[in-house]
C-alpha cells in the first residue's frame, strides 16, 4: 500500500509532485499522506468489529495536531504520556473522557491537569504513582478511573530500546505485585480501579509474544475477579510493526483472532493504542544532496537533512528505504554510497554503502516510512531549524508545521545582565 509512487518519472505524494512541494517550501521537510492515514485507521478498526473496542491513537508516534485531528474525526481517542500530549490532543478535538494517560513518570502537576480535563483513564505504572494520584485526586475532590499496567515479563523480540514488557524494563508493575496493588487501590480515596493494561514493546513482527502476554493477563483477570475485584477494562496497548525494509508482517486479522480467542468471552471493554501502525508508512522525509565527496575509497552524499531531523538511524541503527525523487533508469547502474547529514557527529548517517543510482548535487532523496518517530523526535541540535511538515490529500497540500525561524530559536535564550558584553 502506497500513495507515494512514480508518475512520468517523478515521485508523487498522492496527486502532488514532490518537486512542487520542495520548490514551495524548500528542503528538508516531512510529507504525510492523509489517504494512507485514513486507510490505516479503517483497516485497524475493521479488524476488531464485533468486539467492545476503542482505538486511542498513541500520540507519541506523531503529535502533529493535524494528524491527531484526522484520527479524532474518524472516532479515535488518544493515548498520551505527558501534559503536552494531553493538551495537544484536546486542542485537536479529542474530549477528555476519550484520553488514556499512560507513562511511567507522571508528575503531580500533570495528574492534576489530566483530572481537570476529565481524563477517562489513567494507566498506573507503580505503587508510588498510585499513592500520588490518590493524593492529587482527593485534594481536588475528584475520582480517577485507573487500570494497572502489568509487566508480564515477556520478551517482545524487538530492538532492546523499544522493548517494554521484560522484568528488567522500567515499565509497569511486576506481575506478582498487581494483586496487592489492586487490594490497596480499593481503599484509597479518589481512586476507582477498573482493569489492567499491558504493552510489551514496539515494532513487533511476530504474534507469539502478544499471545504469551495476553494469556498471562487473562489468567490475572480471572484471579483478580475471583478475589472480588472489578475488572471491566483491558488496555492492550499497541506495538504492531510496519515495513521498513523487508519485514514480513502478520495480518491484522490474525492479531484480532488472538484477541478474540483469549478475551472474547470475558466481557471486557478493550482499548488499543496503535501509533506507528497508523502513521509510519504514511510519511516520508525529503532531503536534497548538498555535496558529493570521496574519502578513504568511499563515496559520500551529504544531504541537508540530519540526525536531529530523523534520529532513528542513529538511535536504533534503523533502516529507511531511500529513493531518488526523479525515477532512476530501470536497470541502470548502481554503486555503493554513504548518505550522511551535515551535523558535526560521525553518527549523523542515514545509510552506509547503500546501492544507489548515479547521484549529483541538487538531487532529491526521500526516506520512506518516516511518519512515526520522525518529526516528533526532532531537535534543534547544532542550532538547526525544526523542519516543516506537510499533509497531502489528493491534489491539495498544506503546511501543517512551518519551518522554525532563527529569531525564535535564538530568542529562546536569556543572557544574564551580569555577563559583561562589549
Residue written as grid cell 489468567: 219
- ω into 283 cis (within 30 of 0): no
Does the pLDDT value for residue 159 go beyond 60?
A: no
pLDDT digits (tens, 9 = 90+) for 304-344: 999 999 999 999 899 999 999 999 988 889 999 999 999 99
Does the pLDDT value for residue 170 go beyond 90?
A: no
Residue written as grid cell 504525510: 32
How much is the pLDDT for 158?
47
Does the pLDDT value for residue 133 go beyond 80?
A: yes
**Active-site residue identified among 31, 56, 119, 344:** 344
Does the pLDDT value for residue 260 go beyond 80?
A: yes
Specify which residues 58 forms β-bridges with: 79
Does the pLDDT value for residue 156 go beyond 60?
A: no
Portion of the chain with pLDDT greater than 70, in percent: 95
Q: CA angle, corner 95, sides to 69 and 237, nearest 5?
A: 75
Catalytic residue check, 344: yes
pLDDT digits (tens, 9 = 90+) for 306-315: 999 999 999 9
Q: Report the predicted TM-score, pTM, of the whole model to 2 decimal places.
A: 0.94
Amino acid at each position: 500500500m502506497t500513495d507515494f509512487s512514480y508518475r512520468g518519472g517523478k515521485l508523487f505524494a498522492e496527486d502532488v509532485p514532490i518537486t512542487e512541494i520542495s520548490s514551495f517550501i524548500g528542503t528538508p521537510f516531512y510529507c504525510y499522506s492523509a489517504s494512507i492515514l485514513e486507510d490505516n485507521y479503517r483497516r485497524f478498526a475493521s479488524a476488531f468489529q464485533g468486539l467492545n473496542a476503542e482505538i486511542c491513537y498513541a500520540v507519541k508516534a506523531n503529535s502533529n495536531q493535524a494528524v491527531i485531528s484526522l484520527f479524532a474525526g474518524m472516532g479515535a481517542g488518544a493515548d498520551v504520556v505527558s501534559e503536552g500530549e494531553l493538551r495537544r490532543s484536546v486542542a485537536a478535538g479529542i474530549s477528555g473522557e476519550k484520553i488514556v494517560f499512560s507513562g511511567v513518570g507522571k508528575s503531580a502537576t500533570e495528574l492534576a491537569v489530566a483530572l481537570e480535563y476529565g481524563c477517562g483513564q489513567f494507566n498506573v505504572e507503580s505503587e508510588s504513582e498510585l499513592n500520588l494520584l490518590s493524593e492529587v485526586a482527593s485534594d481536588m475532590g475528584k475520582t480517577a478511573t485507573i487500570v494497572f499496567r502489568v509487566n508480564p515479563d515477556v520478551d517482545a523480540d524487538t530492538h532492546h530500546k523499544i522493548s517494554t514488557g521484560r522484568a528488567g524494563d522500567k515499565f509497569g508493575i511486576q506481575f506478582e505485585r498487581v494483586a496487592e496493588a489492586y487490594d490497596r487501590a480499593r481503599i484509597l480515596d479518589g481512586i476507582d480501579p477498573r482493569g489492567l493494561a499491558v504493552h510489551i514493546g514496539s515494532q513487533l513482527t511476530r504474534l507469539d509474544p502478544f499471545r504469551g502476554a495476553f494469556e498471562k493477563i487473562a489468567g490475572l483477570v480471572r484471579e483478580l475477579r475471583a478475589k472480588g475485584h472489578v475488572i471491566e477494562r483491558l488496555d492492550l496497548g499497541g506495538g504492531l510493526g510496519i515495513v521498513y525494509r523487508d519485514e514480513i508482517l502478520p495480518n491484522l486479522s490474525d492479531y484480532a483472532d488472538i484477541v478474540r480467542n483469549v478475551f472474547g468471552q470475558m466481557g471486557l471493554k478493550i482499548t488499543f493504542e496503535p501509533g506507528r501502525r497508523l502513521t509510519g508508512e504514511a510519511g516520508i522525509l525529503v532531503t536534497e544532496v548538498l555535496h558529493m565527496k570521496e574519502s578513504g575509497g568511499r563515496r559520500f552524499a551529504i544531504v541537508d537533512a540530519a540526525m536531529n531531523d530523523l534520529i532513528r538511524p542513529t538511535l536504533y541503527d534503523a533502516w529507511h528505504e531511500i529513493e531518488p525523487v526523479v525515477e532512476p533508469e530501470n536497470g541502470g547502474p548502481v554503486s555503493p554510497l554513504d548518505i550522511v547529514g551535515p551535523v558535526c557527529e560521525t553518527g549523523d548517517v542515514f545509510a552506509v554503502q547503500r546501492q544507489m543510482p548515479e547521484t549529483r548535487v541538487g538531487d532529491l532523496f526521500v526516506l520512506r516510512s518516516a511518519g512515526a518517530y520522525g518529526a516528533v523526535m526532532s531537535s534543534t541540535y547544532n542550532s538547526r531549524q525544526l523542519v516543516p511538515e506537510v499533509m497531502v490529500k489528493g491534489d491539495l497540500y498544506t503546511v501543517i508545521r512551518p519551518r522554525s525561524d532563527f529569531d525564535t530559536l535564538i530568542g529562546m535564550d536569556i543572557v544574564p545582565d551580569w555577563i559583561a558584553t562589549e
